[in-house]
């Protein structure tokens, strides 16, 4: 029990990821306003990306841009570049899908005059 | 020293995320979400992920905030609901349980910043050591994104193009 708690507090990035991920997910499930749901979705997306970038960190290493192009490269001097590449793609695609979701929100508002889930369902009946 | 810096940045991150969730006025919530994105990009720059930090500052904090604000200007900027019904019981039970399980798994993760962790020893050293020989670019992230994985990047632009077309068709006003 104490071991598990110590393991969590040795990894503050992971603790932050878990809090933001679950809170964002809870907002997506419980709130009735559609824009608020999208705020929760954005928090979930960015928290997962935050977790992946935290994996790439190395103590005492610098950014993955080579300091010298003639000396042989030692991999231990630079942080792991592969999670950075994957998360770059994920950020841009995430914002693109967020844009489509927001366009759907304003189309719904134009048709039903509300962004509240229950009022929209009432008008659908 | 660096731990103090890290903990305070993470606290700022949590506080702005909590503000974006708890504030009633949607306009303030969106601006707090923009602050959250900026703090996130600062944390990433501190972790050594400068390219990701730039993209988050431009696309996450800039473009996403602008898209949210444009939507709010076209619709209602307030969460009109004063009292919420109680949340579904499944969410109240399942999500804390998931949180406990995730935190219980923390001790199996490699230590934070460990240079000998599995993702750092298997394949990434060969990319770091070979990329300048192969691509003549000192920035390893650029050389992976634009050279080794250039097809992925091209298809990503197809995804963004599709999203743009979808937005244009959804927001098109009917001409009668």
CB atoms within 10 A of CB B132: 18
Domain segments of chain A: what residues?
Answer: 2-65+75-124
Please give the pLDDT value at position B82.
Answer: 65
For chain A, say whether B6 makes contact (Cβ under 8 Å): yes
Size of interface A-B (CB pairs under 8 A): 259
Of A84, A93, A106, nearest to B141 by CB-CB distance is A84
CATH T-level assignment (fold) for domain A2-65+75-124: Helix Hairpins (1.10.287)
pLDDT, one tens digit per residue, over B36-46 is 999 999 999 99
Q: Do A96 and B160 touch (CB under 8 A)?
A: yes
- Chain B residues closer than 8 Å to A52 by CB: none
- Chain B residues closer than 8 Å to A30 by CB: 84, 87-88, 91
Q: How far apart are CA A36 and CA B139, in angstroms?
A: 38
Is the pLDDT at B176 greater than 70, yes or no?
no
Q: Do A11 and B112 touch (CB under 8 A)?
A: yes
Confirm if B116 and A75 have CB atoms less than 8 A apart: no
In chain B, the domains with their CATH numbers are 1-80 (1.20.120.1200), 116-176 (no CATH)
pLDDT, one tens digit per residue, over B12-28 is 999 999 999 998 889 99
For chain A, say whether B87 makes contact (Cβ under 8 Å): yes
Please give the pLDDT value at position B157.
Answer: 92
Of A32, A46, A61, nearest to B81 by CB-CB distance is A32
pLDDT, one tens digit per residue, over B93-142 is 999 999 999 998 888 888 888 888 888 888 888 888 888 888 888 899 99
pLDDT, one tens digit per residue, over B148-173 is 999 999 999 999 999 999 999 998 88
**In angstroms, how far is the first alpha carbon of chain A from the final one?**
52
- Chain A residues closer than 8 Å to B47 by CB: 53-54, 56-57, 79
Q: Is the pTM of this model over 0.90?
A: yes
Please give the pLDDT value at position A76.
Answer: 85
Q: How far apart are CA A96 and CA B9, in angstroms?
A: 27
- Chain A residues closer than 8 Å to B56 by CB: 46, 91
Please give the pLDDT value at position B41.
Answer: 93
- Ranges in chain A, pLDDT < 70: none
The model's confidence at residue B80, banded by pLDDT at 50, 70 and 90, is: low
Please give the pLDDT value at position B98.
Answer: 92
Is this prediction's ipTM beyond 0.85?
A: yes
Please give the pLDDT value at position B30.
Answer: 93
Q: How far apart are CA A96 and CA A98, in angstroms?
A: 5
Q: Do A39 and B49 touch (CB under 8 A)?
A: no
Please give the pLDDT value at position A39.
Answer: 94
Please give the pLDDT value at position A41.
Answer: 94
Only one residue has tokens 């506080």, namely: B15
Please give the pLDDT value at position B175.
Answer: 66
Q: Do A42 and B64 touch (CB under 8 A)?
A: yes
Is the pLDDT at B1 greater than 80, yes or no?
no
């Amino acid at each position: 029990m104490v071991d598990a708690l110590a393991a969590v507090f040795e990894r503050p990035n992971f603790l932050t990821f878990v809090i933001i991920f679950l809170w964002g997910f809870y907002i997506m499930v419980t709130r009735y306003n559609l824009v608020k749901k999208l705020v929760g979705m954005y928090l979930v997306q960015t928290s997962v990306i935050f977790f992946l970038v935290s994996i790439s960190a190395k103590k005492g290493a610098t950014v993955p841009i080579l300091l010298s192009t003639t000396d042989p490269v030692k991999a231990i001097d630079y942080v792991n570049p592969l999670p950075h590449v994957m998360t770059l793609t994920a950020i841009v695609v995430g914002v693109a899908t967020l844009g489509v979701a927001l366009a759907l929100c304003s189309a719904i508002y134009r048709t039903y005059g509300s962004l509240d889930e229950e009022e929209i369902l009432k008008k659908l009946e | 020293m660096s731990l103090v810096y890290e903990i305070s940045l993470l606290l700022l991150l949590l506080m702005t995320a909590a503000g974006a969730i708890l504030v009633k006025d949607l306009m303030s919530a969106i601006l707090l979400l923009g602050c959250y994105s900026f703090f996130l990009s600062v944390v990433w720059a501190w972790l050594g992920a400068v390219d990701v930090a730039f993209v988050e500052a431009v696309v996450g904090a800039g473009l996403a905030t602008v898209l949210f604000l444009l939507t709010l200007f076209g619709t209602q900027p307030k969460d009109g609901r004063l009292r919420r019904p109680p949340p579904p019981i499944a969410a109240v039970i399942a999500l804390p349980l998931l949180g406990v399980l995730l935190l219980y798994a923390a001790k199996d993760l490699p230590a934070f910043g460990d240079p000998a962790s599995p993702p750092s020893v298997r394949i990434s050293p060969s990319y770091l050591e070979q990329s300048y020989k192969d691509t003549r670019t000192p920035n390893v992230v650029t050389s992976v994104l634009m050279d080794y994985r250039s097809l992925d990047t091209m298809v990503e632009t197809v995804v963004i193009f599709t999203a743009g077309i979808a937005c244009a068709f959804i927001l098109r006003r009917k001409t009668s």
